[in-house]
Structure 1
Amino acid sequence: MSFYTSLNGLKNSQTELGVIAHNIANVETNGFKKGNTQFADIVAGSAQSDPRMIKGIGATVEGITQNFGLGPIEQTGGALDIAITGDGFFAMRSADSGNTVYTRNGAFGVDEAGFITDGGPNRLQVFPTDADGNITGTTPMDAQIAPTNAAGAEYVGVVVGADGVVSASYADGSTEAVGNVALASFITPTGLKQIGSSNWEATGISGQANYGAPGTGQYGSLMSGSIERSNVDIAEELVGLITAQRNFQANAKAIDTATQISQTVINLRS
């Protein structure tokens, strides 16, 4: 029995080492959220067992949870570099599949068609607004900047306010609201599915997305010209790495000890 108990311990430590290694590898990934390995003990006993004689049979990985704590905010000066200073996710709709993904990485740009994207097929979702930036609908849509305004003046730049209003500037000095950034929230954000590139998908555990404007209710305001960095604390991860390594070594030693005891018993009987 001790062999299997220690073997489970080895596997658990290996899982924790993998999670920590993944965290460390993404210390420079914008919008990344670190993972934490959660363990639970395993106990087996029947209804007839004396509760004073029940012993544990090891541990198991109960889950790998994500920590959605706010990461450091780095000022970049980019007009379409946007950080969320509180709760919420940017909603991005794929032009290829039509699926919506969610991210905290606000490094955006404008493609050749005027859509605000993450550099790939995903387009930033905004609430429709009137010319003054007042929200006129609650269904998010793709953020698209017109190359010219009604007077024929060419597009020259874009700004994003703390309240989420995206405003395009034109050569004649006029500005025009493109939309208001739609932030998403979830009942259980730890239930979101990681799909890479600092993106998540909604699942049955996370629940469906609820949308709101920045700076309202539970949603954080936006900070233009800034990017949210990874929330990985490298010093904390290195300490965890040492602890996981010691746990791995201890379980390996337990297997070695159990082997020696078994060998001694076999020698006594021979």
Structure 2
Amino acid sequence: MHYVKAKSIFKSDNGINLYRGCTHGCIYCDSRSEIYSIDHEFEDIEVKENAIELLKKGMIKRKPSMIGTGAMTDPYLPLEKRLKFVRKTLKLVYRYGFGFTCITKSDLVLRDLDLLKKINEKTKAVVQITLTTADDELCRIIEPNVCPTSKRIEVLKTLNKNNIPAVVWLCPILPHINDTKENLDFILDACIENNVKGVLNFGFGLTLRKGNREYFYKKLDEKFPGIKDKYIKQFGDNYFIHSKNNAELMRIFTKRTYEHGILNKPDDIFAYLHEFPEKSVQTTLF
């Protein structure tokens, strides 16, 4: 871990990144790609030491809206237990009448359930959880340093009980590893049982480009001998890699989510995540 002084914190869409880099160790992580210009060891987390100060200044100047984090780095890294940057962010979000959403694989998000509930009662809070693999043992191989799927499903249950909406990222799905109907049905069952608002899927596969491709192939050689050669033969240097089962899995995914009233189109889900309740603006301003 190392500290930097950031010049800014808000992106144009009100997205923020409190940290850069990650210690979850997911073998497929796109954030390792060179395009993101991370100029330090990926596991050496960059902490924006003045992030909370910048957030406060930015919120004072902005009209209340949704604030999101987790697109590049899971905000609930182990160091968050000590630093509590996310918790401090949530306190500011509540104080200034903003809404909040985050993407995470960690059950540490439940530490902040009290603040998420308060924000959701006042404006809007949405928790986005990544689920890729039904089997916990496989999960520990492809996402080794974060809680397994079973614990993430417990997070969904807790959110549902507390009326906090959830969105599930059902991606990436790794060809020859977890691209099966059984895996998909298990995850969809969990989503349906826990009344998730939407399930994000961009096709059953993953993205590979310089930076994350090399790391992914290295891990395939370590954990799944022989699979890398299948990737090279089938996909070459393609950026997006589709499973050969993509058509069948997409049919099942679309049918089951539609039947249960779950949002399944990325554009619709992103519109929902960015939508800020206007009545909350009125309450905050007046």
Q: TM-score band (shorter)?
A: under 0.3
Where is the helix percentage greater, Structure 1 or Structure 2? Answer: 2
**What TM-score comes out, normalization by structure 2 length?**
0.26
Where is the strand percentage greater, Structure 1 or Structure 2? Answer: 1
**What TM-score comes out, normalization by structure 1 length?**
0.27
Greater relative contact order (Cα < 8 A, sep 6+): 1
Larger radius of gyration: 1
